[in-house]
Amino acid sequence: MEKARTYRVGPLLMVTHVTGEPAATRHFYRDMMAMADVSDRAMPAAGQAVQRELWGLDAGAGWTEQLYERPGLPQVPRVRVLAMDRPGPVIRPDLDVLLEGGLSVGFAVRNRAEMEQCVARGEALGIGTTAGITTIEFRRPDGSPYEALETHFRAPDDVYGLGVGRPQDLPPVGPIEPGRMIGGPAYSAQVVNHADDDVAFYRDLLGFEVRRDVDLTSSGPAGGLGLQAGTVMRFLQLYAAGTETGYLVMLDFRDAGKPQAGTIRPPGRGVAMWTFPTDDLEAVLLRCRAQGIRVHGGPATLDSPLLGAHRAATLLTPHGFLVELVQTGRD
C-alpha cells in the first residue's frame, strides 16, 4: 500500500470580502485599518476566467479586485475585496450575528488607550462601532481569568471589523508594527451552528489545531454583537500547526442559530471565502477524495501579480463555506 503523502496547510493567507460598495471598502481597509492598497497586483482578466471556474461563479460574472496588505507584516493575512458587477444579497443583513456564514475580520490592538484612539479615528472617518469598547472574559493557560477588549466596527456589507486587545502580560492576538496603534488582520470569524463537522474539516483535512473551545454567555446587546442577554455561544479558535496568528474563529449558537436562506460564498456580499497556502496541493486533494469530500473547483494553474505562478483548488466546508487552497512556486 502506498504511504500517504504528508503536507502542510499554513495559516490564513487571505480573506475575501465581496462588496457592492467598493469606495466604502477602500475607505475602511485603507483609511481606517491602515492597510496598503496594492490593487495594482490584482488578477488580470485572463486569470479571472479561471477563478470563475474555481469559485463556481456564473460565466457572465465580473468584478474589480481590490487588494490590501501590511507590507511591514508579511506574515499576516491579506484582504481581497471583490467588487462584483452584480453583487448578491448581503450574507449577514443588519449585522445579524445568529446567521450562519462569514462574520468578521479581526485586528490586533495593544491596549485600551490605543483602542480608544482607534474608536476616535473611526468616528472622525465616519465609521462607527456597534457598542464602543467591550470586554469578554477568557482564561490564561494557568487558569487565571483575564479580560480581552473588543470593539466592533461597522464595516461595509454588514461585516464586523474587530479591534481586539489583551492585557499587557499576554502577547497581542497578532503582530503590530512599532509606531502603529493597530496591527494587520490577525484572524477571521464565521458562524457555524452545530460546528463539529466543520471543526473536523479544518482539523482532519487541513491539519488545524483547536486551541480554545469554550462556551461564552452574552451580557446583552451592550456586548457588541446585538445578542440577547443569556445567549450561549460555543467559541472556538483554530490555528495552523506551529503558528500564532492568521487563525480562525467559529461561533456556534447551536439550536439558537439561524440557517442561511441565501448563499454564504461569492457572489454573496460579506466575508465569503478563506484562502490558505499548502506545500502539496495534490496531497490535500487526494485526502479529500479518500474521505469522500468533493473538490468544488480545480485544480487549476494561474499566474497573478500577487502570488505569481501557482496552483489552486477550492473546497466547500460541510455547511457550504468556500475554502481556496493555493500552492505557489516558493512552496
Domain boundaries, the chain: 14-90+264-328
Q: How confident is the prediction along the chain (331 residues), in pLDDT tens digits per residue?
A: 456 678 899 999 999 999 999 999 999 999 999 999 999 999 998 899 999 999 999 998 999 999 999 999 999 999 999 999 999 999 999 999 999 999 999 999 999 999 999 999 999 999 999 999 999 889 888 889 999 999 999 999 999 999 999 998 898 999 999 989 999 999 999 999 999 999 999 999 999 999 999 999 998 888 889 999 999 999 999 999 999 999 999 999 999 999 998 889 999 999 999 999 999 999 999 999 998 898 999 999 999 999 999 999 999 999 999 999 999 875 4
Give start and end residues of each alpha helix (H) in the chain.
22-26, 45-55, 112-124, 196-200, 281-290
- Greatest pairwise CA separation for the chain in angstroms: 64
User: Under 8 Å CB-to-CB from 113, ≥6 apart: which residues?
Assistant: none
Please tell me what DSSP assigns to residue 288.
H
- Class at the top of the CATH hierarchy for domain 14-90+264-328: alpha beta
156/68 Cα distance (integer angstroms): 15
Give start and end residues of each alpha helix (H) in 191-280.
196-200
Residue 1 is predicted with a pLDDT of 41
Which of 145, 153, 148 lies closest to 120 in space, CA to CA? 153
142/79 Cα distance (integer angstroms): 34
